Structure 1
Amino acid sequence: MVKSRKWDIPFYLFMCLISLTMVFPFLWMLSTSLKYDTQVFTVPIEWIPDPVNLSNYAKVWTEEPFLQYYMNTIKVAVFATAGQVLISAMAAYAFVAIPFKGSRFLFGLYLATMMVPWHTIMIPQYQIISAMGLTDTHIALIFGQLASAFGIFLLRQFFLTIPRELMEAARIDGAGEFRTFWAIVLPQAKPALSTLIIFTFVQVWNDYTAPLIYLNSREKYTIQLGLSFFQTEHTMQYTVIMAGTVCALIPILLIYLIFEKQITNGMVHSGLKG
């Protein structure tokens, strides 16, 4: 028993060190957001600024229409997340519960798209959006997030763990495919759905490239583009940018703290059966 635990202390010390390296950028960001510009690059690092400068947070909300950027990002993230989860759930249900010829091959093609970087399809996607007349609109950003091979894969793997007897019993009782999907399958898949909601929301919230490509009007910018206005050709307002980044991270941190258990359950159960 003693031999099996002799590596526990070194292991936990190593994991604590790894954790500190992960937390370090966030601590530096929070500390910098409370400093004056002259304090940013002092050596050694002054973790607790003296004096504390709270005016950086005031500048974030007053120098730029940060609230407008915030609301734009919330709108895009909410609608894109809802659309992706719904479409991914319906596609995953079709792969699991509705047998059709070529389903395995089609699912393999979906998985293959996960290996293709988004930058390789960036230009064709822009051409499609432009042909539809949706450039400089939030709809372009939402449409670009509706299809997700990862979402289909994640939910399909979870749906496979749901007993088929439940679906068959619903069909015997006269339920159609949509009612079976909505009333039987979705309530059983809350962990996987919560996981996909969080992953999608975080991805859309932090997206910088797509808004930069599709949006031209400043009043339609998202929060990531809004932060870039605190940087000019010759100056960089590090303290104000860090304050804005802290404000931008608050929704993501809250969502993670609330749904942490669902993330773990969703990832564990989605890999039980393939």
Structure 2
Amino acid sequence: MADWKNCICKQPSTVSISNISNYVDLINETLSPIDKFYKRRNEILAVTTPTFSTANPTIMPLLLVGLISIVENYYRDIISELIKICPISKELSSEKTINLATIWFGSSNLEKGSLENTSFSDSKNISKNLKSIFGIDVDASANQVNAPLVEFGKLCELRHAIVHSGGELSGKNAIKLQLPNSSNSVQVILDYSEMQEAAEICTSLICASNLELFKLMGHRWLHRWPSSPAFAGIDLNQVYSKLWSVFYSTIDDRTGLIAQPLTKIKARNNIILTRAT
């Protein structure tokens, strides 16, 4: 006699992960946060050709998730690096809770570990952290982060649907995106052109954030750090070199995309000249 409990689908297989270490690999690269973003973005976009996009409609939303993930990682990288360098940001972030799991990072990377419980796939969280750690008001009219951050927030609503409901938008996501009412379910779909547009939005946000943070740190390096006890007896030119390595994009330099290219020394001298203006 057939067992009715086994009449609706196949039996589960007995399977386990043979070696979890095969699923991960060490990162052996020394790139600035923005160049790490560029590298990962280019790897994603290399896959999304028009032919691939048409042939793999279910893969495209997953690549959007990957794109947003590398934006998140940029913020984790840049914030943690600047907390290490800037005593003002270190003070502002001093009340952040550090999960004991951060011990896995080791003492040299506790700053990044402290961001483990922070999601940057949310435009409000990005704005909140830029304000609380760096004092940057994203909503200020002169701030170039605001416009791309608004658009990135829309991508994050799509991401939420992809990650949590197989690409079907919930009413909350649809309302935030101001989509028209629908009695039918609505699913996230992306073609080649949408993926390129999404990548440009993410890139614009990263570039704007990189420029705003560099401007802020350059000002602090010139006006506030010299009087900080944290830098007593320390060569601030060496500190500036650390800043430069955190912000500078060798990829944009190589491709000629830097609007006003200067060497590290010339840029430093220009910052010093602003003291008199």
Q: Above 0.5 in TM-score?
A: no
Which TM-score tier does this pair reach, normalised by the shorter chain? under 0.3
Per the normalisation by structure 2, the TM-score is 0.26
Q: Which has the higher helix share?
A: 1
Per the normalisation by structure 1, the TM-score is 0.26
